[in-house]
Amino acid sequence: MKIKSTEIVDTFAEAFKMCGSRVIITAETREWAMAAAQSMTGFATSVIGCKCEAGIERELPADETPDQRHGVSVLLFAMNAEGVGKRLVERIGQCVMTCPTTACYNGLVSGTTVSVGDQLRYFGDGHQISKVLDNRRMWRIPVMDGEFLVEESFGVQEAVGGGNLLLLGKDQKATLRAASAATKAMHAVPGIILPFPNGVVRSGSKVGSKYKSLPASTNDAYCPTLRGSVNNSMVPLAVNCVMEIVIDGLDVKAVEECMRVGMYAAAKPGIKQITAGNYGGNLGQFHIHLHKTINGN
């Protein structure tokens, strides 16, 4: 199967069950809302080393936010609901409450919730006040520019992490151009994030290592410089650069649509193949087949 001149390999991306939450950050200006969101989603590329995966889902116009101010929607994923709750308390407390003019709201309706504002309220040292606004139980925590308003509980739902595409290109320039086009198109899909820098990973990993202390190591099968020295190289002779795009989503349909959009956008001159990473189907609960995804199945 091809898209234009790019071969789509008949394989699948192996993705995993995770738990996800949506955070709505608002502020007096777009700049402050974005500053809080960028800070909150820093060092959150992979659960392997960061304990969570997080990213900006989209910016929100004032008429879509609870307080009619500038807003940013952030998605955060961890391996279970408890992990999501811990990371939300840490990151909202350190990155949103600290940012001038911000407020923070739950953006996900779910039967499962985690306590966030109910824990952060103690920073108020007894001066905090609980208030119900538009059926939301909020905590008003006094801070030096007025009050930080944060919702008491945040919804958590089952989600999907680790959807992925591998772009195999003739050189770095062509591969980066295709990756940038793909991530731009993929960001338009609701309910997903691309947690790595600008959505792109150059240091893709495999499970395990020759060093017993490491849970993961370089994906040598897709390293062009190792093409002649490893037995399992998947890098064709005409390929000199491989870039990966990882997708986390609130459900598998969102991840599938994101991958479909990304494949069409990435099929540019110089991209020889688009494939995906998997573990033989033995680890992840979701197998997202590239050919089926392109056909909408």
Q: Say if residue 296's pLDDT is above 90.
A: no
**Radius of gyration, alpha carbons of the chain:** 21
- Would you state the pLDDT for residue 283? 86
Would you call 121 helix, strand, or coil by DSSP? Answer: helix
Following CA atoms 262, 264, 265, 269 in sequence, which dihedral angle do they give, to the nearest 10 degrees?
Answer: 130
Q: Say if residue 5's pLDDT is above 90.
A: yes
Q: DSSP string spanning 30-78?
A: HHHHHHHHHHHTTT-S-HHHHSSEEEEEEEE-GGGSTTSSEEEEEEEEE
- Predicted confidence band at 280 (pLDDT cuts at 50, 70, 90)? confident
**Per-residue model confidence as pLDDT tens digits over 212-271:** 999 999 999 999 999 999 999 999 999 999 999 999 999 999 999 999 999 999 999 999
Tell me, what amino acid is at 281? G
Hey, what are 223's tokens?
A: 């390293």
**Per-residue model confidence as pLDDT tens digits over 25-74:** 999 999 999 999 999 999 999 999 999 999 999 999 999 999 999 999 99
Distance CA 16, CA 200 (A): 19
What pTM value is reported for the model? 0.96
- Would you state the pLDDT for residue 188? 97
Hey, what are 285's tokens?
A: 């609960």
Q: Say if residue 198's pLDDT is above 80.
A: yes
Q: Say if residue 156's pLDDT is above 80.
A: yes
Q: Which domains does the chain have, with CATH numbers?
A: 2-15+160-294 (3.30.70.520), 18-157 (3.30.70.520)
Distance CA 148, CA 86 (A): 19
- Would you state the pLDDT for residue 63? 97
Q: Say if residue 4's pLDDT is above 80.
A: yes
